[in-house]
Amino acid sequence: MSTDIEQKIITIVCDQMAASPEQRKNITRQTKLVALGAEDIDLTEIAMRLEEEFTITLDDSKKAVTIGDFVDAVKEKLDAKR
């Protein structure tokens, strides 16, 4: 079961990568960002959108390999804010 945070992140990644409706159905936290065609600039753009959406600062977006990496990073930052 995915969380609201995870679903928001998946939506942001899919929007950034212009994922087709068929691709969106199969995307999970294990999906590799390169499988969606993500390059360094895309990772930076995704990180910027996540920072804006969740009012956080992510340390190094280029370390993200999967959507789950972004989910974990966002959850960690949100937990630290509490």
Q: What pLDDT, on a 0 to 100 scale, did the predictor assign at position 37?
A: 95
Torsion angle of the four alpha carbons 64, 57, 44, 15, in this order, in degrees rounded to the nearest 10: 90
What is the number of structural domains in the chain? 1
Q: What is d(CA 35, CA 33) in angstroms, rounded to the nearest whole number?
A: 5
Domain that holds residue 66: 4-81
Backbone angles phi, psi at 78, to 5 degrees: -65, -40
Q: What is the CA radius of gyration of the chain?
A: 12
Confidence bin at 2 (pLDDT 50/70/90): low
Residue 57 maps to which CATH number?
Answer: 1.10.1200.10
pLDDT at 1 over 80: no
List, for residues 3-59, the tens digit of each pLDDT value: 899 999 999 999 999 999 999 999 999 999 999 999 999 999 999 999 999 999 998
CB 47 within 8 A of CB 13: no
Phi, psi of 64 (to 5 degrees): -70, 130
Whether pTM > 0.95 for this model: the answer is no
